[in-house]
Amino acid sequence: MSWSTFTETYAPTAGPIRLGAWTASPGRHDLLECQATIATGDSIASLTATASGAIAALSDMLYRLGSGVEIIRLHQYPHSGGVATFLLCERDERRSWSMGSGPCGEESALGALIAAANRLS
């Protein structure tokens, strides 16, 4: 499988679920306060979530939009351009791997979670 085919399959950039703006700041009790703009089809939602980390916050937001997935496995690997995250996720008894890549673990994990939601939608 070529790299372009791999990324088109496991890290799709086009799909019904798209992450727009994302901000995160430290909250009380070691929690993270996150804000996101997420498009689902033709609808755009601005959401907030307070969670133990970015993945938990985005997961909560996706569930509220009806696009939640369960993370079964998570793997992160450093590479020359940053970090790659691989997720095995499940929705409605279907499982799929996804990938995200970014300059840091948080950004790559968010991309992988959006990719998983799209692959399982």
The two structure tokens encoding residue 28: 């009380």
Reading across the β-sheet that carries 82-91, which strands appear in turn?
Answer: 70-79, 82-91, 94-102
Kind and range of the H or E run holding 109: helix 105-119
Cα gap 70→3, rounded to integer Å? 26
The two structure tokens encoding residue 9: 């399959």
Superfamily the domain 3-119 falls into: Alpha-isopropylmalate synthase LeuA, regulatory domain (3.30.160.270)
The full set of domain ranges for the chain reads 3-119
Model pTM score: 0.95
Local confidence band at 75 (pLDDT 50, 70, 90 cut-offs): very high
Q: What is the pLDDT of residues 20-57, one digit of tens each?
A: 999 999 999 999 999 999 999 999 999 999 999 999 99
- Residue 92: count of CB within 10 angstroms of its CB: 6
